[in-house]
């Protein structure tokens, strides 16, 4: 019997949706290990406000480490707090979200605890008392089943794959103040630029509108931005390697083997032919739509729905129809 | 300024992955191997660092079998000065890899150790920050570009919905992503010179891998989709299907 801890990521004092997914995954594991799912939130004073609500995602208790210096992610301090909490709690497994923060934090915690880490997991189970996971390798061209032979089993879950748990009421919340010594920090954020609130990383978006070389010119991206806005909150822009290499779009948007592997519920590929390394990065999406003028483009082999045609005619029409649909509700 | 770059040999990113007979690894017959693309950015960044400082050495380190010599020679041809191959098995356990690297890196006077942000084969994104944590160094992950001044390295990083500038005190570990460091091609002269550059080979420190790959499978097949139609007139039907059949909007 062992309890499972979920790291519940917060941003600007708000507990993120992906934190509920981590708690949901922790609850599944805890059920199989015969223990409880707990959550840990690290942030500035006041972050505990939303903590009890993690009960609804499957946590029976939530520990909140509050400190004025911990409002923003500081990797060394966060890793120290998380590792100490895992050690003290005697956890059998720890679940991180595989976000930009989680991917930076989890390996540090693993090194501090001297246990290995399985990252970006898409399935998990308990087999003979040991945690076993499935994770994509070669950017999704294959899936490896991996058995974690150390305790605690450390893993990070891919966003948008696991459901938050359900059922529970408010969780019991314990707030504590960890020891933090900023004078020992070897690194700090000195400047932060936001591209507007609501901008999402492509790995966390539930819907992605992705553009490729068929877009012809970076100035045409307004078409895709309009479709993104019509699809609404949770939609991000993606890009193929060709347009990132051409300098049309930032690398952060690149989907595929030298970019990001994504699993949104809806993926709209516009003017993307579908190179193998791109298909690998998006083939686990829920529904795939392709718009391409070439009927033989490989993208149509993985798309659920395709339209063969000139994207400059098809996309504006699509935006218009989606807007009309959303207006009807 | 001395810079160490840790690199990895991986299958070419255009490779079609076939599952090997053991059911747990990829079939390597006929597969072309390359230096992981992110590691190439790191090598390029290291070379520019050395060029900007006007002195110093760029040293490559890898863990792998003797075929990784080829990967190291590629980096030497780009302009790195020396390389070391730690001969040992690379397992799924990134912490075991990190420990083998630390056994070699411990005590180095190089103020910067660079990695690619992730390896293009297992995508774990973990060895760099693990090495930094084990060595007690600062570590900035996913660095698009950086500048060194005095004992501080100033790093630019993309995060969800924006970007950050992070300052770290040297010595530090950085993991480099695509952005500012398009790798240079090795010149013929560079390729010839690489043959004479020092490439040491030694046994890697013994590691205990605690992540066991039980099986490797191809991705689940997607059911064949349908072409809804041609041109903008097909859009209303597409939207209807997305709403009613796929429940996607």
Give the distance from residue A169's alpha carbon to the nearest chain B alpha carbon, in angstroms: 29
| pLDDT tens, residue by residue, B63-110 | 999 999 999 999 999 999 999 999 999 999 999 999 999 999 999 999
Could you tell me if residue B229 is inside a domain? no
**Domain CATH number, residue B21:** 3.40.50.620
Tell the burial category of B206 from Cβ atoms under 10 Å away from its Cβ (0-12, 13-18, 19+).
exposed
Give the distance from residue A248's alpha carbon to the nearest chain B alpha carbon, in angstroms: 12
Residue A260's SS3 state is strand
Q: Which residue in A76, A252, A306 is closest to B228 by CB distance?
A: A306
Predicted confidence at residue B220, as pLDDT, reads 80
Q: Give the CATH class of A4-184.
A: alpha beta
- Write down the ipTM of this complex: 0.94
CA distance A268 to A257: 18
* Chain B CB within 8 Å of residue A277 CB: yes
Pairwise pLDDT comparison (A195 vs B10), residue with the higher score: B10
- CA distances for A37 relative to A55, A144, A152, A156, angstroms: 9, 26, 14, 15
Could you tell me if residue B242 is inside a domain? no
Predicted confidence at residue A148, as pLDDT, reads 95
Predicted confidence at residue B97, as pLDDT, reads 97
Could you tell me if residue B191 is inside a domain? yes
Give the distance from residue B198's alpha carbon to the nearest chain A alpha carbon, in angstroms: 30
| pLDDT tens, residue by residue, A178-190 | 999 999 999 999 9
Predicted confidence at residue A193, as pLDDT, reads 87
Domain ranges for chain A, please list them: 4-184, 207-328
Please tell me if the domain spanning A4-184 has the same topology as the one spanning A207-328: yes
Could you tell me if residue B233 is inside a domain? no
* Chain B CB within 8 Å of residue A14 CB: no
Number of domains in chain B: 1
Q: Which residue in A118, A143, A265 is closest to B219 by CB distance?
A: A143
User: Mean per-residue pLDDT for B170-183?
Assistant: 96
Confidence of residue B168 (pLDDT cuts 50, 70, 90): very high
DSSP symbol at A186: S
Could you tell me if residue B235 is inside a domain? no
Structural domain harbouring B162: 3-203
| pLDDT tens, residue by residue, B147-166 | 999 999 999 998 877 889 99
What is the pTM (predicted TM-score) of this model?
0.92
- CA distances for B15 relative to A32, A34, A295, B11, B243, angstroms: 38, 42, 24, 7, 36
| Domain formed by A207-328, architecture | 3-Layer(aba) Sandwich (3.40)
- Please tell me which residue of chain A has the smallest CA distance to B151: A186
Confidence of residue A160 (pLDDT cuts 50, 70, 90): confident
What percent of chain A lies above the pLDDT cut of 90? Answer: 85
Put simply, the answer to whether A305 touches B212 (Cβ < 8 Å) is: no
Confidence of residue A139 (pLDDT cuts 50, 70, 90): confident
User: Mean per-residue pLDDT for A140-145?
Assistant: 93
CA distance A151 to A34: 15
Residues of A in contact with B122 (CB under 8 A): 137-138, 144
């Amino acid at each position: 019997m062992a309890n499972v801890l979920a790291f519940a990521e917060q941003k600007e004092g708000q507990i993120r949706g992906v934190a509920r997914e981590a708690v949901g995954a922790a609850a599944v594991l805890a059920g199989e290990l015969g223990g409880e799912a707990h959550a840990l939130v690290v942030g500035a004073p006041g972050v505990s406000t939303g903590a009890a609500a993690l009960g609804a995602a499957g946590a029976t208790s939530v520990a909140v480490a509050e400190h004025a210096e911990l409002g923003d992610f500081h990797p060394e301090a966060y890793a120290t707090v998380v590792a100490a909490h895992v050690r003290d709690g005697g956890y059998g497994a720890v679940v991180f979200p595989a976000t930009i923060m989680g991917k930076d934090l989890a390996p540090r915690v693993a090194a501090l605890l001297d246990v290995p880490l399985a990252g970006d997991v898409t399935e998990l189970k308990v087999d003979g008392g040991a945690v076993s996971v499935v994770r994509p390798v070669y950017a999704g061209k294959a899936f490896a089943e991996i058995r974690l032979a150390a305790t605690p089993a450390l893993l990070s879950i891919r966003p948008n794959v696991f459901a938050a748990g359900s059922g529970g009421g408010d969780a019991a919340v314990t707030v504590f103040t960890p020891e933090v010594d900023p004078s020992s920090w070897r690194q700090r954020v000195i400047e932060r630029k936001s591209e507007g609130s609501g901008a999402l990383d492509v790995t966390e978006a539930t819907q992605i509108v992705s553009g490729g070389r068929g877009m012809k010119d970076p100035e045409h991206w307004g078409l895709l931005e309009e479709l993104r806005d019509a699809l609404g909150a949770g939609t991000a822009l993606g890009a193929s390697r060709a347009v990132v290499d051409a300098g049309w779009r930032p690398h952060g948007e690149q989907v595929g083997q030298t970019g990001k592997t994504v699993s949104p519920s809806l993926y709209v590929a516009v003017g993307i032919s579908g190179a193998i390394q791109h298909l690998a990065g998006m083939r686990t999406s829920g529904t795939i739509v392709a718009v391409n003028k070439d009927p033989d483009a490989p993208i149509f082999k993985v798309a659920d729905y395709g339209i063969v045609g000139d994207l400059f005619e098809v996309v504006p029409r699509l935006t218009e129809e989606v807007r009309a649909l959303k207006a009807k509700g | 300024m001395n810079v160490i770059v840790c690199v990895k040999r991986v299958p070419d990113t255009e490779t079609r992955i076939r599952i090997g007979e053991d059911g747990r690894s990829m079939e390597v017959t006929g597969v072309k191997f390359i230096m992981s693309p992110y590691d190439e950015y790191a090598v390029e960044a290291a070379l520019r660092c050395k060029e900007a400082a006007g002195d110093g050495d760029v040293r490559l380190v890898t863990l792998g079998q003797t075929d990784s010599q080829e990967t190291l020679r590629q980096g030497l041809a780009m302009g790195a000065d020396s390389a070391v191959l730690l001969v040992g098995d690379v397992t799924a356990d990134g912490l075991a890899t990190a420990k083998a690297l630390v056994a070699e890196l411990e005590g180095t006077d190089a103020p910067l150790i660079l990695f690619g942000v992730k390896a293009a084969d297992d995508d774990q994104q973990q060895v760099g920050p693990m090495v930094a944590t084990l060595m007690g160094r600062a570590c900035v992950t996913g660095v698009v570009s950086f500048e060194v001044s005095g004992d501080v390295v100033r790093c630019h990083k993309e995060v969800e919905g924006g970007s950050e500038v992070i300052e770290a005190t040297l010595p530090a570990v950085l993991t480099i992503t695509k952005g500012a460091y398009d790798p240079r091609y090795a010149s013929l002269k560079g390729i010839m010179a690489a043959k004479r550059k020092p490439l040491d080979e030694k046994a890697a420190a013994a590691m205990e891998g605690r992540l066991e790959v039980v099986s490797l499978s191809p991705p689940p097949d997607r059911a064949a989709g349908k072409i809804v139609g041609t041109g903008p007139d097909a859009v209303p039907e597409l939207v209807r299907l997305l709403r009613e059949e796929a429940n996607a909007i």
